[in-house]
Amino acid sequence: MKKAMTISYEVGDNLYINLTNQCPCACTFCIRNSADGAYGSDPLWLEHEPAIGEIYADLDRRDIEKYKEIVFCGYGEPTCRLDILIETANYLKKSPNCPKLRLNTNGLGDIVNGRSIAEEICSVIDTVSVSLNAGTEEEYMSVTRPRYENAFGAMQKFTADCVKTGKSEVIMSVVDVIPPEQIEASGQICERLGARLRVRKYDE
């Protein structure tokens, strides 16, 4: 019998939602380069992009209120499926005692969708975590390898727009493998944009 594809998966006290495998970046440290799953999950490569009904059916078998947080984060950039992301978040919000919703994003959703999406995102998401990855444009482009030339600026504009809504907590993250001076420069970017810096531990 064929195993069902992984739309949601548990990590610790959180539930993660895997909406897509599309991503406009090819980060040098991306876990997709070395594994089929994350943190012991089943494979996160999708046979097809799940329809909204498949996502609802998957979530309906979960005890939603038991999780500390529900995180939009899988083997792709969630804002590549913005409408599905928003629909799913609204669906979850209808659940009794729905936990906080977090979006892990590369912050390039404005370019992907051809418009500013911060207001739509922050209307349904409690915490927006943007992958900053580096403190300078040169290092960012080298590490993140986005397909867009204006990615560094677009990512910062998206972050600033999310902060301006006043509706969500906004975090920018870097991984602890980058040099201390890059972490310091990242902190300065966060301060300027009004976001909080989070230094993540690198997981092999």
CATH superfamily, domain at 8-200: Aldolase class I (3.20.20.70)
CA separation for the pair 180, 24 (Å, rounded)? 27
Question: pLDDT tens digits for the chain (204 residues)?
Answer: 345 689 999 999 999 999 999 999 998 877 776 666 566 667 788 999 999 999 999 999 999 999 999 999 998 999 999 999 999 999 999 998 999 999 999 999 999 999 999 999 999 999 999 999 999 999 999 999 999 999 999 999 999 999 999 999 999 999 888 889 999 999 999 999 999 999 987 664
- Spatial neighbors of 56 by CB under 8 A, at least 6 apart, are 88, 91
Burial of 196 (0-12, 13-18, 19+ CB in 10 A): middle
- pLDDT value, residue 1: 35
Residue 25, SS3? coil
What is the pLDDT, as a whole number, of residue 177?
A: 80
pLDDT on residue 142: 94
**pLDDT at residue 2, as a whole number:** 44
DSSP state, 40?
T
Beta-carbon contacts of 133 under 8 Å, excluding residues fewer than 6 positions away, are: 27, 140, 143, 144, 173, 174, 175, 178
Residue matched to tokens 């064929």: 2
Distance of CA 109 to the CA centre of its chain: 10
Domain ranges of the chain: 8-200
